[in-house]
């Protein structure tokens, strides 16, 4: 049965159309959604004739004060009896808009239904009880609107009659919710004081809210813009399927943003293959001339035979999406089991799917809570930021650049379990293989540390060639070993002879060299050893990556011997060769060494002895909890 009480007909026979806007009303349970809906239907003249009078009469007869929410209940009952209305898709009209009100339950238990509903909305009304103020579900819904990409949000502060239409109370709530939403990058289109029960602020600015100068609810709804296809952005055509029903090889998909036309030069990502669009095909008439814009489901043929598959993204050569196996996303989580570091998932970005591993969980919070207590895992109905590694490269955009391709959903056991926005795409990061089942050591960490008198650590010595890294590393190794510890030296040059012998000195190879060093060192550290890494590691970004891998075990030492001293020493003859032009990509004589900005320790070997420097390192390791202080240690063993 159709709820079109006042017929909303976007497709009338004469072809005239009014913009159709889909909205959700969200907010905490009992903050007055049903009352507002009832009042809105009345104020927009959308109720069947006599309906209101009838309900008022019924209320009077039963000796109950009339409530606007009765209206919705009554419509619901009639709907259940197959008479009039479907309350899940209520339609009404404002001056210039056809409004479709999508049902989005307020109860926390039905968050997945709220998300399903709100994800289809062009705009939202977030309702807040003036007496109760901002509540957990208010904040949660606000956060979800942000994650769902609903940008047009009108705030309605309801039940103003209960606070004597106090402008101060209104401002208090308005400030609180605006701050919350602004923090998420959502700017409310309006904050409106209303009494849905009495009608103030719904369609009229009554005297009681005379201090308020903004739009009414009806005016705010009338100002909502329908979703527009993203034609102004770069072309993104995710490939849904390849059809070969006849001699044509047809690439089918929906244009998510931008536009295309036959003759365009395109690139197929992530493979990066180039082709030209030969034709745009259709049925019953084909081919189609003219430009095809965002929102259209199209089919194209290409000027050459290329391997192309579902999930690839077609873009213009000049503005292609990024290929990545590593990305960060801000997500909401709906699954019963919390999402934790190391979890394996299926990630979908448009038609593309890839298995993935959660590398890191950051900022896991309950968006309903005021104090954001950070958790290690993202619980059901909570949000968080995750760093994920993909088994297949995907082409994607950060959501700030493209709201359509910059979002993803997460599946667990074949069921959608969460979704969110792509924050950043880490094009340099390698994937963490997903098929590995790590074998845990038979020993407990405390068994090792009791023997070695230290915790595991990665001591990372960075500095110019000939700055003294290897000398210091060897001396430190000796010192730790003499004290009964378990140091292991990982020298950059030594590892290049074996493990890293496939790598050269390009920026990418240097990054990979550092990554491998960091991985090996971290493995040793996790098993209680002190891995001492001596590597020039000139790029700050690479060292930051190493710190991410080793996490809390990382101790960076900048061996900051002046460049002239290093060149003077030149034990391997590298500076001489480089000066002679015989050693390309040599760090030291250019300005390509990026010194650390926050190293745990800085040592200049030109001004102190090796023993002195090793003392300093030992002190630092003690101070940062790697080496045990003997007194403390004895106490711990009693």
Partner 1 sequence: MHLLRSDSGADGLGFTAPVSEQIPVAQTAPSMDHLDQLEAQSIYIFREAFARLKKIALLWSLGKDSNVMIWLARKAFFGRVPFPALHVDTGKKFPEMYRFRDHYGKEWELDLRVEPCPPIDAVDPTLPPAARSAARKTEGLKMALAKYGFDGLIAGIRRDEEATRAKERVFSPRGLEGNWDVRDQPPEFWDHFNASPPQGAHLRIHPILHWTEADIWAYTKRENIPIIPLYLAKDGKRYRSLGDQDITNPVASTASNIDEILIELEQTKVPERAGRALDHETEDAFERLRVAGYL
* Catalytic center residues: 537
Output the smallest distance, CB 182 to partner 1, in A: 24
d(CA 109, CA 112): 8
Output the smallest distance, CB 584 to partner 1, in A: 36
Q: Count the helices and strands in the chain (H runs, E runs).
A: 16, 25
| Of 304, 318, 564, 631, the one binding partner 1 by CB under 8 A | 318
Closer to partner 1 by CB, 116 or 483: give it: 116
The answer to whether the beta carbons of residues 418 and 333 sit under 8 Å apart is yes
Window contacting partner 1 (CB under 8 A); options: 74-82, 168-176, 432-440, 448-456: 74-82
> Does 223 interact with partner 1 (rule: CB under 8 A)?
no
Chain positions 16 to 35 lying near partner 1, rule: CB under 8 A, are 17, 20
Window contacting partner 1 (CB under 8 A); options: 25-33, 52-60, 246-254, 566-574: 246-254
The answer to whether the beta carbons of residues 574 and 529 sit under 8 Å apart is no
| Of 96, 182, 297, 506, the one binding partner 1 by CB under 8 A | 297
> Does 259 interact with partner 1 (rule: CB under 8 A)?
yes
> Does 309 interact with partner 1 (rule: CB under 8 A)?
no
| Of 310, 341, 430, 526, the one binding partner 1 by CB under 8 A | 310
> Does 338 interact with partner 1 (rule: CB under 8 A)?
no
| Of 245, 305, 637, 638, the one binding partner 1 by CB under 8 A | 245
Task: Give Cβ neighbours of residue 364 (< 8 Å, ≥ 6 apart).
Answer: 374, 375, 376, 377, 378, 379, 382, 383, 384, 385
Closer to partner 1 by CB, 8 or 153: give it: 8
d(CA 497, CA 478): 23
> Does 119 interact with partner 1 (rule: CB under 8 A)?
yes
> Does 289 interact with partner 1 (rule: CB under 8 A)?
yes
Chain positions 586 to 615 lying near partner 1, rule: CB under 8 A, are none
Output the smallest distance, CB 77 to partner 1, in A: 9
> Does 105 interact with partner 1 (rule: CB under 8 A)?
no
DSSP per residue, 57-77:
HHHHHTT----HHHHHHHHHH
d(CA 163, CA 153): 24
| Of 56, 107, 291, 376, the one binding partner 1 by CB under 8 A | 291
Element (H, E) at 508: helix 507-526
| Of 40, 72, 190, 262, the one binding partner 1 by CB under 8 A | 262
Output the smallest distance, CB 470 to partner 1, in A: 53
The answer to whether the beta carbons of residues 410 and 403 sit under 8 Å apart is no
Is the backbone of residue 242 left (phi > 0), alpha (psi -120 to 50) or beta? beta
| Of 134, 148, 218, 536, the one binding partner 1 by CB under 8 A | 148
- Token pair in block for residue 78: 């009639």
d(CA 570, CA 468): 10
> Does 254 interact with partner 1 (rule: CB under 8 A)?
yes
The answer to whether the beta carbons of residues 118 and 102 sit under 8 Å apart is yes
Output the smallest distance, CB 445 to partner 1, in A: 40
| Of 30, 52, 67, 79, the one binding partner 1 by CB under 8 A | 79
* Token pair 């711990």: residue: 636
Burial 572-607 (b: 16+ CB within 10 A, else e): eebbeebeeeebeebbbbeeebeebeebbbebbbee
Chain positions 160 to 179 lying near partner 1, rule: CB under 8 A, are none
Window contacting partner 1 (CB under 8 A); options: 24-32, 227-235, 498-506, 515-523: 227-235
Window contacting partner 1 (CB under 8 A); options: 122-130, 164-172, 274-282, 546-554: 274-282
3-state SS class at 365: strand
> Does 402 interact with partner 1 (rule: CB under 8 A)?
no
Rg for the chain, CA atoms, rounded: 32
């Amino acid at each position: 049965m159709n709820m079109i009480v006042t017929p909303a007909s976007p497709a009338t026979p004469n072809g005239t159309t009014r913009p159709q806007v889909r909205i959700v009303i969200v907010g905490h349970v009992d903050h007055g959604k049903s009352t507002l809906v009832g009042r809105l239907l009345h104020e927009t003249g959308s109720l069947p004739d006599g309906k209101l009078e009838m309900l008022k009469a019924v209320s009077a007869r039963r000796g109950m004060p009339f409530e606007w929410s009765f209206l919705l209940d009554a419509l619901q009952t009639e709907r259940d009896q197959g008479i009039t209305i479907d309350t899940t898709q209520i339609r009404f009209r404002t001056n210039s808009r056809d409004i479709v009100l999508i049902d989005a339950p307020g109860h926390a238990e039905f968050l997945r239904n709220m998300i399903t509903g709100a994800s289809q909305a062009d705009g939202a009304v977030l309702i807040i009880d003036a007496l109760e103020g901002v509540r957990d579900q208010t904040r949660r819904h606000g956060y979800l609107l942000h994650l769902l990409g609903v940008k047009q949000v009108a705030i309605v502060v309801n039940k103003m009659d209960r606070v004597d239409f106090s402008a101060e109370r209104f401002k208090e709530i308005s400030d609180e919710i605006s701050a919350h939403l602004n923090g998420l990058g959502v700017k409310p289109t309006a904050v409106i004081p209303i009494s849905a029960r009495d009608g103030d602020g719904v369609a009229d600015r009554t005297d009681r809210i005379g201090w308020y100068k903004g739009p009414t609810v009806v005016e705010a709804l009338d100002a909502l813009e329908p979703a527009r296809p993203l034609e102004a952005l770069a072309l993104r055509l995710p490939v849904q399927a390849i059809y070969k029903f006849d001699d044509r090889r047809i690439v089918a998909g929906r244009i998510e943003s931008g536009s295309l036309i036959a003759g365009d030069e395109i690139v197929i990502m992530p493979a990066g293959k180039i082709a030209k669009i030969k034709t745009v095909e259709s049925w019953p008439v084909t081919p189609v001339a003219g430009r095809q814009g965002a929102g259209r489901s199209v089919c194209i043929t290409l000027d050459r035979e290329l391997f192309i598959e579902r999930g690839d993204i077609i873009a213009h050569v000049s503005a292609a999406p990024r290929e990545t196996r590593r990305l960060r996303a801000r997500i909401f989580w709906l699954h019963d089991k919390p999402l934790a570091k190391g979890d394996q998932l299926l990630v979908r970005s448009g038609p593309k799917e890839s298995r993935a591993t959660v590398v890191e969980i950051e900022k896991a919070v309950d968006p309903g809570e005021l104090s954001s207590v950070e958790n290690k895992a993202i619980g059901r109905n909570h949000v968080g930021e995750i760093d994920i590694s993909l088994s297949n490269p995907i082409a994607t955009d950060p959501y700030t650049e493209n709201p359509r391709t910059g979002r993803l959903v997460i599946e667990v056991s074949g069921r959608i379990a969460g979704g969110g926005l792509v924050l950043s795409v880490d094009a340099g990061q390698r994937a963490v293989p997903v098929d590995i089942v790590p074998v845990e050591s038979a020993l407990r960490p405390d068994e090792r540390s009791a023997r070695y008198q230290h915790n595991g650590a990665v001591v990372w010595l960075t500095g110019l060639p000939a700055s003294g890294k290897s000398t210091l590393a060897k001396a430190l190794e000796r010192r730790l070993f003499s004290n009964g510890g378990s140091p292991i030296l990982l020298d950059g040059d030594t590892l290049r002879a074996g493990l890293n012998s496939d790598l050269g000195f390009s920026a990418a190879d240097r990054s990979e060299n550092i990554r491998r060093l960091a991985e090996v060192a971290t493995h040793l550290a996790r098993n209680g050893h002190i891995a001492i890494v001596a590597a020039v590691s000139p790029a700050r970004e690479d060292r930051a990556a190493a710190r991410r891998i080793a996490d809390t075990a990382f101790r960076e030492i900048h061996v900051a011997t002046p460049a002239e001293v290093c060149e003077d020493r030149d034990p391997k003859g590298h500076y001489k060769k480089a000066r002679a032009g015989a050693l390309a990509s040599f760090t030291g004589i250019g300005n390509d060494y990026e010194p650390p900005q926050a190293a745990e320790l800085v040592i200049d070997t030109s001004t102190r002895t090796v023993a002195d420097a090793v003392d300093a390192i030992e002190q630092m390791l003690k101070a940062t909890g790697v080496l045990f202080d003997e007194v403390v240690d004895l106490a711990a063993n009693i």
